[in-house]
């Protein structure tokens, strides 16, 4: 919306300026046409009104405005005395119609502008040849042709510049949208790969347990053995289907993605890595979570959220103190798993703050929101009052408070 308003602001200003010029030209042109060039007062009022009205009309209706302005020029030429000043183009008529050509050029109606200019030259030659046919008319035609061509060229240059700016802005918007769309798709693909690994591990365990049950559990009945065999077969089928659906998300460059995913147990390694980078990290994980078996999908999401929060601190707030808190809180709709990464302001040493590295893209929060949305959670991120930054993610927790 802001970009649209910014793009319309110059055009609105230009329209206002054209209307003011039209009013000024009417106030000057009518008296000059009557007093200096001998046009009848009534005819001068009508003819100049057509010229100035055509100038304003050209802002919205190009052909109609140009035709009205040219008709007004012809009426002034017919009613004026050829021996009293410039003829057939009086100074007010020349200025007004030249502005009409400039407006058409600025509106990027290049064909209409050139047609109107050539039409005005043809009308001038016809009127001068029929009514006067003197050498002075040739000089007047040359003056009009050169001045109007100059204004027409300036208007076309303004219109071409506007077209280039609009195309650049449109291209920039398309690029930004495509980049944001690509970031979301890449992050969703990465999440899908991680979920594939988590589910594949669980399904493999189920298949192995079902297959080996008859050897581990003595005195199984034939019905139970058949049931375990069916579970093993179903797990293998599910694994095959899942690999078929998600196999396209893998390629040879994703070999590192096959490594086991870290969960809550890997948070201490993340904190230690941030400490080595120069930050003071305090890590708190609720005893409730340490005692319970956290689902693998939830553990991966929490791990990635903390990883992104600490990475942002290392990149943008080097040396700042960081608090990582993973706890279970009681919310309105039940227990909530709350993950918070909050850092303080960048420390200042000897009056100079550390140099902050350049931003690496700023797309990490997109992945955090995608992961939180995957589990039905919510994300809050923003600066704190003390000059730091806070990342808070609330995830529904079925494990109990």
Q: Place 2 in a pLDDT band, splitting at 50, 70 and 90.
A: low
| CA separation for the pair 390, 387 (Å, rounded) | 10
Average pLDDT over residues 95-119: 93
| Residues paired with 327 in a beta bridge | 338
| CA separation for the pair 151, 282 (Å, rounded) | 70
Number of continuous H segments (helices) and E segments (strands) in the chain: 11, 5
* DSSP three-state, residue 352: strand
What is the percent of the chain where pLDDT is above 90? 35
Report for 10-14, 46-50, 134-138, 206-210: range of highest mean pLDDT = 46-50
Residue 361 has pLDDT above 50, yes or no: no
Q: Identify the CA nearest to 378 among candidates 358, 393, 357.
A: 393
Average pLDDT over residues 43-59: 95
pLDDT score recorded for residue 10? 61
Handedness of CA 102, 103, 107, 109 (dihedral sign): negative
Q: Is 62 left (phi over 0), alpha (psi -120 to 50) or beta?
A: alpha
Answer whether the bond into residue 261 is a cis peptide, omega within 30°: no
Cβ atoms of 100 and 111 closer than 8 Å: no
pLDDT score recorded for residue 356? 43
| CA separation for the pair 283, 273 (Å, rounded) | 12
Q: Place 49 in a pLDDT band, splitting at 50, 70 and 90.
A: very high
| CA separation for the pair 56, 45 (Å, rounded) | 16
Residue 243 has pLDDT above 50, yes or no: yes
Average pLDDT over residues 327-336: 80
Q: Place 346 in a pLDDT band, splitting at 50, 70 and 90.
A: confident
Residue 336 has pLDDT above 90, yes or no: no
pLDDT score recorded for residue 66? 95
Average pLDDT over residues 11-16: 80
| CA separation for the pair 42, 146 (Å, rounded) | 31
Residue 46 has pLDDT above 90, yes or no: yes
More confident residue, 261 or 182: 182
Q: What is the pLDDT of residues 53-73, one digit of tens each?
A: 999 999 999 999 999 999 999
φ, ψ for residue 89, nearest 5 deg: -100, 105
Residue 248 has pLDDT above 90, yes or no: no
Mean pLDDT of the chain: 82
Q: What is the pLDDT of residues 289-319, one digit of tens each?
A: 776 777 777 888 888 889 888 888 887 887 8
pLDDT score recorded for residue 98? 95
Q: CA triplet 304, 309, 312: central angle to 5 degrees?
A: 125
Residue 258 has pLDDT above 60, yes or no: no
Report the predicted TM-score, pTM, of the whole model to 2 decimal places. Answer: 0.50
Average pLDDT over residues 308-336: 84
Cβ atoms of 62 and 107 closer than 8 Å: yes
Q: Place 51 in a pLDDT band, splitting at 50, 70 and 90.
A: very high
Q: What is the pLDDT of residues 216-232, one digit of tens each?
A: 888 888 888 888 888 88
Average pLDDT over residues 200-226: 79
Q: Which residues make Cβ contacts (< 8 Å) with residue 160, sequence separation at least 6?
A: 108
More confident residue, 246 or 203: 203
Question: Residue 197: how many CB atoms within 10 A of its CB?
Answer: 18
| CA separation for the pair 372, 304 (Å, rounded) | 10
């Amino acid at each position: 919306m802001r970009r649209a308003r910014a793009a319309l602001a110059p055009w609105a200003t230009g329209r206002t300026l054209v209307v003011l010029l039209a009013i000024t030209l009417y106030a000057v042109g009518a008296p000059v046409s009557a007093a200096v060039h001998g046009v009848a007062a009534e005819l001068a009022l009508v003819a100049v009104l057509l010229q100035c009205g055509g100038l304003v009309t050209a802002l919205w209706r190009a052909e109609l405005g140009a035709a009205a302005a040219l008709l007004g020029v012809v009426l002034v030429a017919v009613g004026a005395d050829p021996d009293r000043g410039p003829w057939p183009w009086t100074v007010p008529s020349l200025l007004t119609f030249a502005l009409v050509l400039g407006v058409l050029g600025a509106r990027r109606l290049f064909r209409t502008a050139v047609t109107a200019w050539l039409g005005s030259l043809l009308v001038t030659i016809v009127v001068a040849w029929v009514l006067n046919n003197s050498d002075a008319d040739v000089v007047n035609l040359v003056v009009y042709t050169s001045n109007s061509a100059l204004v027409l060229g300036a208007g076309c240059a303004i219109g071409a510049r506007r077209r280039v700016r609009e195309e650049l802005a449109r291209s920039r918007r398309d690029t930004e949208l495509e980049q944001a769309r690509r970031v979301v798709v890449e992050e969703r693909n990465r999440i899908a790969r991680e979920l594939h690994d988590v589910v594949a591990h669980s399904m493999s365990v189920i298949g192995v347990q079902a297959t080996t049950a008859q050897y581990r559990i003595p005195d199984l009945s034939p019905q139970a053995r058949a049931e375990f065999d069916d579970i093993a077969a179903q797990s293998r089928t599910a694994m095959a289907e899942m690999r078929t659906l998600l196999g396209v998300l893998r390629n040879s460059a994703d070999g590192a993605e096959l490594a086991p995913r870290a969960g809550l147990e890997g948070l201490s390694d993340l904190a230690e890595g941030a400490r080595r980078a120069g930050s003071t990290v305090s890590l708190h994980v609720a005893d409730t979570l340490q005692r319970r078996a956290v689902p693998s999908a939830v553990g991966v999401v929490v791990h990635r959220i903390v990883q992104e929060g600490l990475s942002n601190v290392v990149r943008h707030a080097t040396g700042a103190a960081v608090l990582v808190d993973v706890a279970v809180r009681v919310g309105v709709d039940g227990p909530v798993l709350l993950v918070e990464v909050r850092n303080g302001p960048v420390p200042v040493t000897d009056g100079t703050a550390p140099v902050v590295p350049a931003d690496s893209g700023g797309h990490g929060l997109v992945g955090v929101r995608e992961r939180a949305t995957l589990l039905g959670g919510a994300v809050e991120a923003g600066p704190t009052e003390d000059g730091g930054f806070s990342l808070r993610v609330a995830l529904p927790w079925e494990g109990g408070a």
